[in-house]
C-alpha cells in the first residue's frame, strides 16, 4: 500500500522563525491534523477538522517533488511542522530527501513517538505549558527522546505567556538539563483567512512579553536558556506561507 500523508501546505524557501535553526533558510512541509488543541494555537488551519477539505493526501514522492522544485534542487533543511507532524508516516519522505543531501528538522509536542525520529537531523520537542490547556505526558516525552537516540540533535522549546508557563519551563529544564532549551514569548493572535486582518498581531504585547522573559531569565541567572522571538511573526505577522 502506498504511504499517504495529510498535507496542509508546502512553502518556501523562507527562514526558520524560531528555535535552534532560527534564521536558517528552509522549506516547510506542514502536515494536517493534531492530537492537541492548544488554547492559543496559531495554526488552526492545520489542526481543526473543519479545514480537512483543504488538506491534500500526498505520497512521499509527490511531496518530495514539490520540495525539490521549491529549493531548485539545492540541498537545504526541510522543516516538518503541523499540527503535529509526528502523527503522520514521514519516515519514507525523510529517507528520500536525505538520500539527495537534504536535512530534516521536526517540531512536535512529544505526545506521539515514532521510530523514525532516529533519522531526523534535528528534533525539537515542544511540550505545551499550562496556558495551552493541555497536559504533558512525561512518559511519552521520554520515549520520544529515547527514540531519537544519539544521532539526532534533540532540543527543547517552550512557549511562555506568563509566570505559570515560566515555572513549567523551569520544570522541563530540571528534568532535561542535558538538552538545549529555547524559550519564546507566546503569540495570542490566531491567523486569519481575511487578507486585511491576517497581519493584525499584538506586536507590542509580544515585545513586552519578550522583554519580561529576558528579565526573568537574567534575574534568575538561568544562563543555559536561550530566549528568542518568533522571527517570522515579527516580520510577517501570522501570514501563511512565508
Give tens-digit pLDDT for 121-137: 999 999 999 999 999 99
Taking only the tens place, the pLDDT of each residue in 184-205 is: 998 865 444 554 444 457 788 8
168 vs 15, 78, 128, 142, CA distance in Å? 28, 29, 9, 16
pTM here is 0.92
Sequence ranges of the domains in the chain: 5-236
**What is the pLDDT, as a whole number, of residue 1?**
67
Q: How many CB atoms lie within 10 A of CB 28?
A: 22
**What is the pLDDT, as a whole number, of residue 187?**
80
> Which grid coordinates are listed for 69?
522544485
Task: Give the span between the Cα atoms of 152 and 174, in whole angstroms.
Answer: 21
Positions in the chain short of pLDDT 50: 190-192, 195-199
CATH class of 5-236: alpha beta
% of the chain residues with pLDDT over 70 = 92
Taking only the tens place, the pLDDT of each residue in 140-162 is: 999 999 999 999 999 999 999 99
**What is the pLDDT, as a whole number, of residue 231?**
80
Instruction: Please name which of 212, 142, 214, 132 lies closest in space to residue 179, comparing C-alpha atoms.
Output: 142
Task: Give the span between the Cα atoms of 130 and 64, in whole angstroms.
Answer: 36
Cα angle vertex 9, ends 141, 84, to 5°?
Answer: 15
Amino acid at each position: 500500500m502506498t504511504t499517504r500523508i495529510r498535507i496542509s501546505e508546502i512553502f518556501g524557501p523562507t527562514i526558520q522563525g524560531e528555535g535552534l535553526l532560527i534564521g536558517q533558510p528552509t522549506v516547510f512541509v506542514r502536515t494536517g491534523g493534531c492530537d492537541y488543541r492548544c488554547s492559543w494555537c496559531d495554526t488552526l488551519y492545520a489542526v481543526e477538522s473543519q479545514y480537512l477539505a483543504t488538506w491534500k493526501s500526498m505520497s512521499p514522492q509527490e511531496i518530495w517533488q514539490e520540495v525539490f522544485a521549491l529549493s531548485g534542487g539545492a540541498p537545504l533543511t526541510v522543516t516538518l511542522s503541523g499540527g503535529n507532524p509526528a502523527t503522520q508516516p514521514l519516515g519514507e519522505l525523510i529517507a528520500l530527501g536525505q538520500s539527495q543531501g537534504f536535512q530534516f528538522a521536526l517540531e512536535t509536542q512529544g505526545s506521539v513517538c515514532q521510530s523514525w525520529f532516529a533519522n531526523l537531523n534535528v528534533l525539537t520537542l515542544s511540550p505545551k505549558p499550562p496556558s495551552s490547556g493541555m497536559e504533558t505526558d512525561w512518559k511519552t516525552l521520554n520515549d520520544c527522546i529515547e527514540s531519537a537516540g544519539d544521532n539526532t540533535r534533540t532540543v527543547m522549546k517552550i512557549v511562555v505567556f506568563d509566570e505559570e508557563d515560566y515555572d513549567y519551563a523551569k520544570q522541563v529544564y530540571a528534568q532535561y538539563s542535558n538538552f538545549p532549551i529555547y524559550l519564546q514569548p507566546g503569540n495570542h493572535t490566531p491567523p486569519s483567512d481575511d487578507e486585511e486582518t491576517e497581519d493584525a498581531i499584538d506586536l507590542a504585547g509580544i515585545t513586552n512579553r519578550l522583554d519580561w522573559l529576558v528579565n526573568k531569565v537574567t534575574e534568575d541567572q538561568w544562563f543555559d536558556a536561550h530566549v528568542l522571538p518568533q522571527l517570522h511573526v515579527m516580520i510577517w505577522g501570522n501570514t501563511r506561507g512565508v
